[in-house]
Structure 1
């Protein structure tokens, strides 16, 4: 915008906000929509991904260091994001295993998880599958308690909660607030954003930070019994009506501080607050607590993460194994679909592998036509085998990775693990299923199509099919990693599938590809799959072909007409391995450096 001569402007979301949050105190962040409640909490917790932040945040008198702060804090998001295929207990085990110090033994971690489950009243649901919101598994209120528990098992000193009662009925909200209160009573600092709370929920809080639109503070301090301190503060202001008997103090507070009320009394509530004794008391606390206690040292950890990278990888891999094992709609369907497709392909191309041999028939004309037709059928079978299921692999992996990515964003922000550990686990967990898929598909198609039954050719066929399924799967991972949504990943992938199909060297043989497109042939992974399979199966066939435009062996025909070198099998395998590494490497890069979640 500025490059085009349009002046750049910034929208200020928070203005001169100050306050103190202390241990064992439950503080409410309240304000009308657009007041900056969630923005303030994202800034304090270090979750803000955009914008400009000015000011100081101190922990026990020392400047906040985000890497350290992430280790001692928890963040309960408004949207309860969890892996749907794991149980309540497994969710807590995963969080505690990665976030508690490695010096703590396994038995101690298990005991702590048990304690947290009792604290948030989830012990009776330990074996319940989390499921997807609104469709299966835990209820909304149970999911909220699980979200709180996932943070508690990290044993944080400070917990931020973004509207923990949002979307809950009165009973469910009361259960969640009882959980929050239990958490505060353990001596932790807890800060919650809250939107239009009921009287029971509001009076569960100890202190309040009230914001007005524009991100300015209009009250900060204690609430008092039945919010009496808050009520007394506002009723001291001229023009403010008294609260009716039995009226919700939170509702009354929001009504008397809205912009219309400000215009009516002709005063700015933020200015009133900055001239109040309550403000001076808060500023005094800030001044006092901004100085580190004598003899203290800033909190430091020897490493960014609680666990070393190998432990992170193994724990992530264990969780991903659970997710995949309990995803029959993905893996079982994939294997069943592979079997059905293999049988279908084998029946369509039944015994065509033999047709690469010349049939001794009566007329030369019939021999010529059958030989050429048979050769094309063999190549068609090979081409279909590598493309058909490969595209299915890339497409079917995208939904499950897209769901897990939202979980990854939460876990990454919480400092559970390095992104590369997650990426490595995500890639490795696919390989056993791809091996099973390759064996199913390879054995069925190889023997139904009746390719030459030698151990070396069968082994090469399996290796090339395994690499093909792998790079297609990793391509699906990469497409999700590079795009902001599953839908966009599918659209982008489809465009590439079309090019791969057209310029792989089968529909348009290499010698007939236009010169300005030949470069794409060399970087097309399907072309290298085709080279590898055809050269390994037909590269040594000396059967003669006699045509008006060609006379020579099958080996020479493949080389001349399709431009496939009979000796390219080894290089093709190496290139396919390179594509697997490339696609996975780009996926790992996207996981580490790209974040499509904007806050």
Structure 2
């Protein structure tokens, strides 16, 4: 471990200095630390940076420190929306906040949180499940803005939606948010994940060499050299370890050198050694000038002593706030002391839940209280003492007059545009999307499926002809099956894309990594590779086996019609998926609509009742099937020449009773229009669903 720390120090000494490489000592009060920063550190930092900028022709502003304060923060949600996504937390939250339901059907989650944190410090939010740790983290990080009361400031600038947008856009004030669940593309390696993040999030005026250098430095700082070429994996894919995955998630955020880093349960699922190494990494990041806030459930005693500040939460109320090292003396002053050797974190979690087994306590708190109310009495007593002693002290020291240097306040109110242009975002995202999905695109099973069905159909319709009415019906049936096969394949290949990638999209949109339009266009065009390749491969085999017209024009027109059906079906699948954004419901909706389109496609029922006729005009299967018939057959083509009645034209066949084979290819233009309309609607559905989630 010592060698690793020496390597990190050596790397930092050789890299261009930034605020992230300077050390800031934690302070008891913001006034002293601000004065120290503005007078001592900032001039030297800017001098060094200016020299490096001139040498490298790179004009990126360095990240500036964030001093975060929150005072009397409250948060409530409607009862139907209060459940957590974590099933354990959901159950615990319902139990913990059940008594807070009022006449307005709101549940109060946070009930007066006050605290402050600056560069060089780690603030730990600790408490039992359902106490409000993650909610507070999301509130101070700007992830929750509705139904929030209280005062939250960044460098003494009051937080609001406009400030959040500025913070997201302004490079000097990047906010990194590491969720409890590691949301990373499983098909990408650790290095690829960080490289694509760097190229999307770092400013366009950085050279490629500088971006690669930033990735290399991040990999070394987080100790990811050993697994850099290993896929993230997950599920049935061979993957990196839990600790490596968590460090990759952190690296994903610190690539942009954030001023504020928020982490939700970063040690969850890690063993003691991995958790300790992770906290050492966070300590190093904090010493580099970052402000770090993390939720943690039950850390080891060694990890507990790595925190600078601690906020202990019980049922949405704060029961302790201050230096972590002062927490045990504080509770001892209240006559709460462990009777056996005990982890400080375990001791405080027992107090936060009102459990005083093996803990000595002041007996007067149970006066006039029955035994069933003992845990509530402990919690109320701790809440009262916090209000009397700790909260006034914190407000007096750090929430008084504004004492942030003026240039830090002004900078946070300046808004910048996107760091990378639309076209650059598109090329980067297209490459990443293709890399993440290429295994699905060129899956052996899909290739075998296309090959197998093409051969099977080719053998069943081997050298088929249109000499008799029965043979015409057989070929028309083959045409409709081709239409069914590629319609269903492309719909179900596209309907699950957005529901599956919803978690990635929400995470990256909240970080403003790219425009939603860039994501949609790159996703559609990437998927179109598969929707063009497999039908082409399929038709190259089937067309000549089945005995269709052997002319170049007819072959390419038929292939064009099949590809048009596939691309339109892809757009429909994207629309269904974006409309519901649920894996289970998307499949059901797609199945129902596909069945409706197939029944009105013009093969099973040619003469649809007038009441239902409008349905066929909404069916792209109807237009696709008619287009295939028109490009393959001519109305003047003769058949039944060997029958007693003599030759007849194909237009007179009952199979083409509702299709005018001489009517031109208007269906092609209708399908093109439908493909475009489906995609426009899919984009707006996706935008609405993602904005609602944000």
TM-score after normalising by structure 1: 0.89
C-alpha separation between the residues in 2 aligned to 1:452 and 1:159? 65
Q: CA deviation at 1:544?
A: 5.1
C-alpha separation between the residues in 1 aligned to 2:546 and 2:437? 32
Contact 2:487 2:621 survives alignment (8 Å): no
The number of aligned residues is 569
Q: 1:73-472 residue pairs with structure 2 within 5 A?
A: 73-133=175-235, 135-213=237-315, 215-223=316-324, 227=325, 229-237=326-334, 240-244=335-339, 246-259=341-354, 263-264=376-377, 267-277=380-390, 279-289=392-402, 293=406, 296-299=409-412, 303-327=416-440, 331-352=443-464, 354=465, 356-357=466-467, 371-399=468-496, 401-472=498-569
Instruction: Give the root-mean-square deviation of aligned CA atoms.
Output: 2.8
Structure 1 counterpart SS, 2:108: coil
Q: CA deviation at 1:246?
A: 4.2
Q: CA deviation at 1:479?
A: 2.4
Contact 1:20 1:282 survives alignment (8 Å): no
C-alpha separation between the residues in 1 aligned to 2:298 and 2:391? 23
Could you tell me which residue of structure 1 aligns to residue 136 of structure 2? 40
Structure 2 counterpart SS, 1:18: strand
Could you tell me which residue of structure 2 aligns to residue 364 of structure 1? none
CA, structure 1 residues 9+400, in 2 after alignment: closer, same or farther (shift >3 Å)? closer
Q: CA deviation at 1:375?
A: 1.1
Could you tell me which residue of structure 2 aligns to residue 476 of structure 1? 573
C-alpha separation between the residues in 1 aligned to 2:578 and 2:415? 31
Contact 2:497 2:577 survives alignment (8 Å): no
Q: Deviations over 1:151-180 (max 9, x none)?
A: 111211101000000111112212222222
Structure 2 counterpart SS, 1:287: coil
Contact 2:352 2:379 survives alignment (8 Å): no
Could you tell me which residue of structure 1 aligns to residue 58 of structure 2? none
Q: Deviations over 1:313-338 (max 9, x none)?
A: 1111010111122336x644323321
Structure 1 counterpart SS, 2:448: helix
C-alpha separation between the residues in 1 aligned to 2:472 and 2:483? 17
Quick one: higher RCO (CA 8 Å, sep 6+), 1 or 2?
A: 1
Q: CA deviation at 1:400?
A: 5.3
Contact 2:558 2:628 survives alignment (8 Å): yes
| Structure 1: tracts of 5 or more residues without a match | 358-370
Could you tell me which residue of structure 1 aligns to residue 689 of structure 2? 594
CA, structure 1 residues 486+428, in 2 after alignment: closer, same or farther (shift >3 Å)? same
C-alpha separation between the residues in 2 aligned to 1:14 and 1:91? 35
Q: CA deviation at 1:138?
A: 1.1
| Structure 2: tracts of 5 or more residues without a match | 1-77, 80-101, 356-373
Q: CA deviation at 1:548?
A: 12
Return the match for 2:591 from 474, 477, 494. 494
C-alpha separation between the residues in 2 aligned to 1:494 and 1:471? 16
C-alpha separation between the residues in 1 aligned to 2:538 and 2:168? 47
Contact 2:260 2:292 survives alignment (8 Å): yes
Structure 1 counterpart SS, 2:232: coil
In the alignment, does 2:611 pair up with 1:522? no
Return the match for 1:24 from 115, 120, 127. 120
Q: CA deviation at 1:276?
A: 1.0
C-alpha separation between the residues in 2 aligned to 1:549 and 1:297? 92
CA, structure 1 residues 133+139, in 2 after alignment: closer, same or farther (shift >3 Å)? farther
Q: CA deviation at 1:389?
A: 3.0
C-alpha separation between the residues in 2 aligned to 1:265 and 1:523? 66
Contact 1:61 1:293 survives alignment (8 Å): no
C-alpha separation between the residues in 2 aligned to 1:331 and 1:39? 41
Contact 1:533 1:569 survives alignment (8 Å): no
C-alpha separation between the residues in 2 aligned to 1:256 and 1:382? 73
Could you tell me which residue of structure 1 aligns to residue 21 of structure 2? none
C-alpha separation between the residues in 2 aligned to 1:301 and 1:574? 48
